[in-house]
Structure 1
Amino acid sequence: MPPTAETHHQVAAEVAEQPRLLFGLSLLAVLGCLALAVSILIADRVVPDHDWIADTISDLGAGRYEFIVDIGLYTFSAALIGLAVSAAHVHLGAWDWSIGIIALVTFGLLVFLIGARNEYGDNDDEGWVIHGYLVYGVGLAMTVACFAMARGAARASPHYRRILIATGVVWVISAPVFFFLPTDIDGIYERYLGGVAFIMVLALAHLFYQRSKQQGGM
């Protein structure tokens, strides 16, 4: 039996956007940024002999108090994957938006692995040390996510496109510098890069939050 107009209407209703889901995942994205920032601030004060200007976040993620920063990293990882779920739920683009979704998932998984491996900041050189590769992957995933999602984000507002492109440009220029900095200032520079990443996350969170309001969810 061929589908009727009523059947099409029922199917459309079943696949409609879920504003409460978008709202919850947007909230998770904000929480992820806050959790990571707060965990770093707490660890800065708790970890003995830590210099927040010279010592990196990786130094906080190893040793006795590693769980503090790990909690922040895991929450931020969940935030990134939550954004990917939102982006898949509200697909605003073509192939580039799809690549952006994959980049967000990859970004989130890499952040999780950085926290889980616990091989940084303690001069670990035993076994297969992959921290450096994970960091390179984060840099690439962040870059791809910014530029790949910009065109689709413009469908919601041109402001999102400008923010994502500007953030991507700043990231591409700034991130490689970290590897050439002297060790007495790379800690504060790494925190600056984290702030750049937060801009992308919060911009997308705001996009999906506004989408949830437009759909009448909150």
Structure 2
Amino acid sequence: MTQTISALAITEKAWIQDTGLDLFAASFFACAAGLLIMRLGDLKWKIGAAMLLLLAVDILLIAEHNQYAGREGVGAAIHIYCVYALGILFTLAPGLIAFGLRQVGKSWYRFSLGCAIAWVMFAPLFFFTPNAWNGAYERFVAAIMITWVAGVSWLLLQTGRKS
């Protein structure tokens, strides 16, 4: 639990983690596609869904450049820029999408906005977490993202079954 996801990606079993990150990226792509099909909002909705597409690409880049984490060079620069982009994109996308989800129900609005607020409150603290706790804390903030994707996926499945 002391090792970060990126640190684990430089082991000989890194392909397992890279596959998981690739599938996680695919989940954001699927959510973006499903949300665009729902058409629940105006410009905020479309921008939020577009940010999810960018987030999917960003996570793919992180998966492919995570072996450079903590090292010098171009790969390390790409990795850290992608991590910063992830922080910004996951703050804004669920926040913008929340306004359209209000049409589905107030609880979905609160859920999406709550995930964005929790993320913006807790994710930056990772950079101040002691090294002995980095891995555990990173998994905690990753759980916020996983919760949002799982919740929106459930909503999309339920919506698809009704139509």
- TM bracket, shorter-chain basis: over 0.9
1:86 aligned counterpart, secondary structure:
helix
Tell me the distance in 1 between the aligned counterparts of 2:19 and 2:64: 10
AA aligned to 2:92 is V
Larger radius of gyration: 1
- Work out whether 1:86 is the aligned partner of 2:39: no
RMSD: 1.2
Shift, 1:124, TM fit: 2.6
- After TM superposition, the structure 1 = structure 2 runs for residues 182-193 of structure 1, keeping only pairs within 5 Å, are 182-193=130-141
AA aligned to 1:145 is A
Candidates 107, 127, 148, aligned match of 2:74: 127
Unmatched runs of 5 consecutive residues or more in structure 1:
1-51
- Work out whether 1:69 is the aligned partner of 2:28: no
* Structure ranking higher in helix proportion: 2
Q: Contact 1:156 / 1:207 at 8 angstroms: preserved in 2?
A: no
Q: If the length of structure 1 is used for normalisation, what is the TM-score? A: 0.71
Q: If the length of structure 2 is used for normalisation, what is the TM-score? A: 0.94
Tell me the distance in 2 between the aligned counterparts of 1:126 and 1:94: 41
Tell me the distance in 2 between the aligned counterparts of 1:139 and 1:163: 18
Tell me the distance in 1 between the aligned counterparts of 2:141 and 2:154: 20
AA aligned to 2:72 is D
How many aligned residue pairs are there? 162
Identity level (%): 29
Partner of 2:105: 157
List structure 1 runs of 4+ shifted beyond 3 angstroms: 118-121
Tell me the distance in 1 between the aligned counterparts of 2:161 and 2:150: 16
Shift, 1:168, TM fit: 1.0
1:92 aligned counterpart, secondary structure:
coil
Q: Contact 1:81 / 1:104 at 8 angstroms: preserved in 2?
A: yes
Q: Contact 2:7 / 2:67 at 8 angstroms: preserved in 1?
A: no
Tell me the distance in 1 between the aligned counterparts of 2:131 and 2:138: 11
Unmatched runs of 5 consecutive residues or more in structure 2:
none
Partner of 1:148: 96
